[in-house]
Chain A
Amino acid sequence: MSASVELKNASVTFGNFYAAKNINVKINGGEFFSFLGPSGCGKTTLLRAISGFQDLSEGEVLIDGVDMSRIGPNKRPTSLIFQNLALFPLMSVADNISFSLEVRGVDKKKRRSRANELIELMALDGQGEKMVHQLSGGQKQRVAIARALAIEPKVLLLDEPLSALDLKLRQRMRTELRAIQKRVNITFIYITHDQSEALTMSDRIAVMNEGEIEQIGLCADVYNKPLTPFVATFVGENNSIDGKLTEVSSNEATISTENGSFKSCLNNSDGKYSIGDEVFLFIRPEALELAKNGNFDNVIDINIDTFEFEGNIKNYFAKLGSNKKIKFSIPNSVDTSDIHSGSNIQIGFNKLNSVILKKGQLAVDT
């Protein structure tokens, strides 16, 4: 059983500071939905509002269409997995898992069998009698999920549960979480500041910045068709070049920059753009290719600065004009023997692989 979760004009204020501002989103039943945003943008606050620990100052939370404002955290059909897991250190793994049944007065035999069921589901066989501190990081993670699933919540809320794990384990847990979600078939609402986590697991994501949602959409759409400069630079890497529009049609435009004119796509044009507007042109590093290897809509002259070998790809950092930097990535299989630090070369990109957006706040690298 899964449930839909809807936030309507939801805001949370601390004093006169908006930790979440006018949030509108409808998360479907059975969906894996992620809120993605930098540290301090209000993700935890939003999750606490859904689980009932944080009162909204405006707006409402609806779960399966029912207004939750008068329903406490212990009565909502949600389960929250805390940033630090908050397992009970003085109880065994099995007792942790069956805690929600115990406090509902379920008898010992039923608790036992439900705990065993979940222990099996989470591949924790043989760990039931251990204490929490005797488990590894990944096992603790799974106990926390098992504990949250024990009373079959309709919505599972996860607050950056993987952030404490090392990279390898984190990657494995991503796949696992996704598989668990498919198996138990309930709504997962996941929050993270790690874009690759959000992109790999989610059906849809909402990108947040300073308490507001910047964009909601399918992962590929958010990545390929960002609606704001913040989303373009926060989700994945992006080169930004600023300039002015010199030509505008319904879905295409030409931008004139210090480094030449480029043709690109307009995502959310509908008459919002006109000639002379100050805009950014965004091109992803992997959308840039060596100009000699094909025909491109746009070509840029650059001067190679440094080089970085990442295995499957090679990253080049180059100077564009006198004061701009640009990064591009080339598959390892492409021959680059003639490119060295200091070489003057040309790179190109197609207009479909780039995007023009009105000037706005960029994500800062952290």
Chain B
Amino acid sequence: MNLFSSLIKKNGPIIGTYLLIAIIFWFIFLIIIPQLYMVDLSFRPNLSPLERGGDKDFYTLEHYKHFLFGSAGSNNYFNVVDISVFFKTIFISIIVTILNLLFCYPIAFYIAKVAQPNSARFLIIALIIPFWINELLRSFALRVLLANEGVINTFLTQIGLIDTGLLFITNNVGLYSGLTYAYLLLMMFPLYNAIESLDKNQLEAAKDLGSSTFWTHIRVVIPHAKPGIVSGCTMVFMLTVGALATPVVLGGPNTLWFPELIYQWFKMSNNWSRGAAYSFLLLIISVIFVLTMMRLFKVRIGEIIK
């Protein structure tokens, strides 16, 4: 009620009501209901529409059990395949997030504090333009570059640097670079915004007091940019861990991505409940990641969203 009256007061009755409806719609139909439905579904057996609500429809942990122990007939006690895909996905996502941060921090700093306004604008545009192209196409483009008989290998063989093509794709070089590239902007912009808001005098003051560039970053720039770092890392991690197109195109033959499993349950096996359970696991890991980051960097949720 409070929200309603303040919206009306600020925006007038018509726009106020419109905003309120939009907020309620977004909150209930786009957040609460789909998530609740998914969670609910994950605790039910996989049933055909006709069987829903019948006597076979009861709450069960079978899908989560399947994730842990696999199907009854397998030789292993644990579901080694799914569990290892799960942790490998998380592990690679963490690496990708770190790579992203290491790659973006100097660039964001350069654009925000070193470059002249004109070249800063040019660099920002240069960063954005590749992202006008769809993620799937960008992945294929990288594949063209990195394939065993791709552009890079052909070039390196022809100038005589190597004899046989390097196995970029097999060794997941393609996967790492593709994933790092895919969500680059979501790291770049929070970092850029955070660093940009730092008073240039702070940098000069640190230098004047005898600080080396390294210490200035450790003691002044990074603490100031912390909310941006956390916000960039959480966004990149969540999107990477949930990526589908890039791992499908660039993943090595031995690397299965967890969302690929989810996709298989939904699409190929037509087992929505199991897909929902697997998705829910991914959601939980993302939430844990966000909370850990916030704890680690001692930032509050409000600062990240800024």
Contact = CB atoms under 8 A, between A and B. Distances in A.
> Are A and B interaction partners?
yes
Nearest to A151: B210
Contacts of B206: 88, 99, 103
Interface residues of A, number: 26
Given A82-B201, A88-B202, A73 B207 contact: yes
Main secondary structure of the interface of B (DSSP, over half): helix
Contact of B211 (A53, A84, A91, A99): A99
B199 A74 contact: no
Contacts of B209: 74, 79, 99-100, 103, 147-148, 150-151
B205 A104 contact: no
* Chain B: interface size category: 10 to 19
Contacts of A83: 201
A53 B219 contact: no
Contact of A53 (B204, B210, B212, B224): B204
Interface string A40-82: 0000000000010100000000000000000011110011101
Interface of A: 51, 53, 72-75, 78-80, 82-84, 86-88, 90-91, 99-100, 102-104, 147-148, 150-151
* Residue in B206, B209, B219, B223 with the greatest tally of chain A CB atoms within 10 Å: B209
Contacts, number: 63
A74 B201 contact: no
Contacts of A78: 208
Contact of B205 (A82, A90, A102): A82
B18 interface: no
B131 interface: no
B208 A51 contact: yes
B212 A74 contact: yes
Interface string B38-79: 000000000000000000000000000000000000000000
B91 interface: no
Contacts of B27: none
Given A86-B201, A86-B202, A90-B223, A103 B208 contact: no
Given A82-B201, A103-B206, 18 more contacts: A53-B207, A72-B207, A73-B204, A73-B208, A74-B208, A78-B208, A79-B209, A82-B204, A82-B205, A88-B202, A88-B206, A88-B220, A90-B223, A99-B211, A103-B212, A103-B215, A103-B219, A148-B209
